[in-house]
Amino acid sequence: MEADSRDHFEVGQQGEGGHSSSAETIIRRLESWSLELVRKKYDLAAYEANLQAKQANLSVDRMRAENAIEEYKKRCAIEEAKLGKLKKALQNDEKEYKALTNAFESAKRDHDGVFSELKKRVADKVCL
């Protein structure tokens, strides 16, 4: 039956404008197109596989980036806690410095008072 359709096609082709296109030429073209289509399907499959691999790599990169961000946030929280402790220690040191400064000023006033009193007594004794 295939041979019959080729013969019929050849006759039909030869009848149109006197062209000498044969059924075999058309079949070869169809086979060539079919092979080209198969190659393109393989190319497309390879492209899709490559695309999937790139998407998988992007997913891995994204996961790594998200993990790095989480790790950075944890380190920041630790550093903020350390900074908070240092600020508190600094405030305590400032309070202690103020207390020591006040104690020193008080001792100086006391010393100045005692020294003045001694000067008066010495002056009083000298005048006697």
So what's the pLDDT on residue 128? 64
Query: In this predicted structure, what is the pLDDT of residue 30?
Result: 94
pLDDT at 2 over 50: no
Residue with tokens 């305590």: 92
Q: CA dist 13 to 23, 24, 107, Å?
A: 8, 12, 126
Does the pTM of the predicted model rise above 0.85?
A: no
For 1, which DSSP code?
Answer: -
